[in-house]
Amino acid sequence: MSASNSIRVAIVDDHAVVRSGLGAFLLAFEDLELVGEAGSGAEAIRLGDEVQPDVILMDLVMPEMDGATATRQIRRQHPHIQVIALTSFKEEELVQNALEAGAISYLLKNVSANELVEAIRAAHAGRSTLAPEAAQALIHAATHAPAPHFDLTPRELEVLALIVEGLNNTEIAKRLVVSRSTVKFHVSSILSKLGVSSRTEAVALAVQNHLVS
């Protein structure tokens, strides 16, 4: 394959031995061309400006500027550059930060040579590749997301808790030592914020979303 048709790849990692190993790996494939290396996030941004590779293999955990921050800036300045997060870590926060920053793929450094080259080709074509551990982290984050609070104020949450207990407006007014009109106002606001039309629906939503203890 001619150089003009090859995929231009850059490597960003704060460990020289990793950069050297990845660089040697790229040489084995005719359609991949190593066009630059960087040892930090700041260097990666400069590399993106100067070389504008097609794909960047980006380490995430680096001193001074992490890979997600560098990825976000590179993608903002050069949307055509695809970034593959290539890291030893699979923590949910790292996965989410990298993908939110604009990385198209997330791979662990124990990936096989064939899997990595296929991910580079896929990224160049605009397709995402996720390590199974990264996909699992995203699924876990989505299914364990914090319950929404519907912008209820502390007082409204207090009133909602008493509604869940089964108290009526008069009883809530006595419990909180406020007027019934004040309670009525809070209840109306609660129903509006929760998007429900009755106290029964409000109770069901509160229990479902763990809005009250």
pLDDT value at position 150?
84
Task: For residue 179, give the 3-state DSSP assignment.
Answer: coil
Write the CB contacts of 197 (distance below 8 Å, at least 6 apart in sequence). Answer: 191
Spatial strand order of the sheet with 55-58 comes to 32-38, 7-12, 55-58, 82-87, 105-108
Q: What are the tens digits of pLDDT across the range 82-97?
A: 999 999 988 888 998 9
pLDDT band at 157 (very low <50, low <70, confident <90, very high): very high
Question: What value does the mean pLDDT take over residues 142-161?
Answer: 81
Global confidence as pTM: 0.68
Single out the residue of 12, 5, 58, 7 nearest to residue 33, CA to CA.
7
pLDDT band at 145 (very low <50, low <70, confident <90, very high): low
List, in order of start, the domains of the chain with CATH numbers.
Answer: 3-143 (3.40.50.2300), 154-208 (1.10.10.10)
Cβ pair 77, 49 in contact under 8 A = yes
Q: What are the tens digits of pLDDT across the range 170-213?
A: 999 999 999 999 999 999 999 999 989 999 999 988 888 888 87
Average pLDDT, the chain: 91
